[in-house]
Amino acid sequence: MLILMVGLSACPPKTKVVSTINRDGSIDQKVIVHSDHDSIRFSWLPIPVDSTNWKYEMHTSDTGSQSVIYRYTLERAYPSADALNQAYEENASQLKLLDRQVKVEKQFNWFFSTLTYREVYKSIFMTVDYHIYMTDQEYEIYNAYEPREHPAVAKLDSAAQKNLLYEIEAKHEKVLYRSLIKTYLHCVDTCMCQMSGQTEPTVFKNHLDSLDFEVLELDIFENEPDERVHTFLQKIYPEEDSVTINQAVQCAEKGSWKTISQQFENALEESYTNCICMDGRLLETNALVVNGDTLCWEVEAERYLANDLVMTAKSKYPNTWAYWITAIIIAIALGLLLYRPKRPGLKRD
């Protein structure tokens, strides 16, 4: 199953990315890696890093056992979010296949200004409404940094907590699986429409609501789709022969589905803690962890497979210079108002 595939993926070194969002919109990015390897591959990292533009340091720490932990710190400054996005776009590694975007907006007011940070990982599979299987509270518990500390879970005894979290995990697995099947069938249907000369997929849309996702067991990650896939597709396209269906499957496997599969494989290897530091008073955020001016999210594959992963924060800081200018203007105005020079008296003849 999909969750099992996520759980059994390779475990990369423990990585944290800390981005300081400055008032001028520039971004100072730091990557901190803890590993038991005495060298580091840049391809391990969840963001594009090279040896030319980044400062690089390595420290070791003795854990008291035979193993030694290496701490790697890499730093780079970006003049703007656009420059960071450009680095993502120009990245030559497989990470380029992941669709992510960073946006920093500054809104100026006279006495205060606000900074808004927004980073989005676009979903790899087609989005589905999680409400089909989960409630809002269950979805919130699943995405919590520490699910057991969620108020709805913390009030339960340990056995009830375990059962509830297991049920939520199983429900979310159904969301991911529905999204996966929906994406695969859309790829096949697109090829089928191209072969028949239609402008857009229609058969798939007509059948989507009637599909029994509960009983589907399509092994669509195999290089060669098995007999179950063809049998299922034959039910969707009863008027098409097996040769045409096989051509559509091969078209998808070599085209759009191949790209999506590569995105999925890369996502499984990308798991890290994403943190930002923002100046001023925090107004709003959806961060999982808030520690002073540091906000953190966990970026994991299952968080953006079926739905976009959106990380947002907004802060407000004072414009000190505006207070000084206002005070000076007020002082000058009061001075002009209070100061009234004496008028010279009229001379009598």
Q: Is the pLDDT of residue 108 over 90?
A: no
Q: Kindly list the distances between the CA atom of residue 339 and the CA atoms of 325, 335, 336, 344, in Å, as whole numbers in the listed order.
A: 21, 6, 5, 16
The 10 Å CB-count burial string (b at 16+, else e) for 171-206 is bbbbbbbbbbbbbbbbbbbbbbbeeeeeeebebbee
Q: Which sequence spans correspond to the domains of the chain?
A: 14-122+271-338
Q: What is the pLDDT of residues 311-322, one digit of tens each?
A: 999 999 888 888
129-138, 265-274, 318-327: which has the minimum mean pLDDT? 265-274
What does the pLDDT read at residue 315? Answer: 92
Percent of the chain with pLDDT over 90: 21
What does the pLDDT read at residue 55? Answer: 86
Q: What is the pLDDT of residues 264-315, one digit of tens each?
A: 777 766 788 999 998 888 999 998 888 888 999 988 888 888 888 899 999 9
| Rounded mean pLDDT, 145-168 | 90
Q: Is the pLDDT of residue 15 over 90?
A: no
The reported pTM is 0.76
